């Protein structure tokens, strides 16, 4: 089992127990134009009292480590927790919504979208809107300056600008958030946006 397959297994388990969640990051941008082969899968969860035991039962010992008390305490304290596949040595991190309050609005406007797993099978999952995924990537770039974030943003912008997305990107909102993050991030956003518009303009000629 790959790490991506394990994360997808967790997403499906969350759906089966009816627990609120949302995929963000690069994998969340997959339905909106991100095409790179390697994905970071970030899952925000807003688990309720009844969800801890139900989720734990989906990943029973001895193969898995998914302690309901650990999950409950982590959510209450607003810290990340993990579920571990001890056979494969794979760990999946889940982030409580309480830890990321800026995502509260994004969580409320999440969407249901189709994905394809590593074996080619399709499944549906809750995902952040493309505007919110881009904003998250602006914050991530501001923290670490990884070039994967501008590349992902560029792919999503081109996908939207050529009319392939059925969910419009809110460019004014993104520019406002980029400005709030800082001048350097705003300049990165302007450059990527301009590059995407130029690419689309070339293909329309």
Q: How many CB atoms lie within 10 A of CB 178?
A: 25
Q: How many residues does the chain have?
A: 205
Mean pLDDT of the region 48-62 = 96
Task: Judge contact between 192 and 150, C-beta under 8 A.
Answer: yes
DSSP string computed for 133-173: HHHHHHHHHHHH--THHHHHHHHHHHHHHTT--SS---HHH
pLDDT digits (tens, 9 = 90+) for 148-189: 999 999 999 999 999 999 999 999 999 999 999 999 999 999
User: Structure pTM?
Assistant: 0.89
pLDDT given for residue 41 in this prediction: 79
Rounded Cα distance between 71 and 82, Å, is 8
pLDDT above 70: percentage of residues in the chain: 97
What's the mean per-residue pLDDT of the chain? 92
pLDDT above 90: percentage of residues in the chain: 78
pLDDT given for residue 13 in this prediction: 97
pLDDT given for residue 205 in this prediction: 61
pLDDT given for residue 108 in this prediction: 94
Per-residue pLDDT for 38 more than 90?
no
Q: Looking at the chain, which runs of residues are DSSP E strands?
A: 21-24, 42-45, 64-65, 81-85, 90-96, 111-116, 122-127
Under DSSP, is residue 179 helix (H, G, I), strand (E, B) or coil? helix
pLDDT given for residue 202 in this prediction: 85
pLDDT given for residue 26 in this prediction: 87
pLDDT given for residue 1 in this prediction: 65
Rounded Cα distance between 195 and 117, Å, is 31
Task: Judge contact between 41 and 4, C-beta under 8 A.
Answer: yes
Mean pLDDT of the region 136-145 = 95
Domain coordinates in residue numbering, the chain? 3-127, 130-204
Q: What's the pLDDT band for 40 if we cut at 50, 70, 90?
A: low
pLDDT given for residue 5 in this prediction: 87
pLDDT digits (tens, 9 = 90+) for 69-128: 999 999 999 999 999 999 999 998 999 998 888 889 999 999 999 888 778 888 999 999
């Amino acid at each position: 089992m790959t790490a991506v397959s394990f994360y997808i297994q967790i997403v499906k388990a969350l759906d089966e127990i009816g627990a609120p969640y949302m995929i963000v990051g690069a994998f969340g941008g997959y339905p909106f134009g991100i095409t790179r082969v390697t994905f970071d899968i970030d899952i925000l969860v807003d688990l309720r009292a009844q969800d801890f035991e139900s989720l734990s039962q989906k990943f029973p010992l001895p193969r898995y480590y998914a302690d309901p008390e650990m999950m409950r305490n982590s959510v209450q304290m607003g810290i990340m927790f993990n579920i571990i596949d001890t056979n494969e040595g794979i760990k999946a991190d889940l982030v409580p919504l309480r830890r990321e309050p800026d995502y509260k609005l994004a969580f409320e406007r999440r969407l249901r979208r189709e994905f394809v797993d590593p074996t080619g099978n399709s499944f549906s999952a809750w995902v952040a809107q493309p505007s919110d995924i881009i904003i998250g990537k602006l914050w991530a770039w501001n923290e670490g300056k990884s070039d994967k974030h501008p590349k992902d943003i560029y792919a999503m912008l081109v996908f939207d600008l050529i009319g392939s997305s059925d969910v419009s990107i809110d460019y004014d909102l993104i520019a406002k958030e980029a400005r709030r993050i800082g001048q350097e991030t705003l300049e990165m956003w302007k450059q990527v946006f301009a590059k995407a518009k130029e690419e689309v303009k070339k293909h329309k000629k």
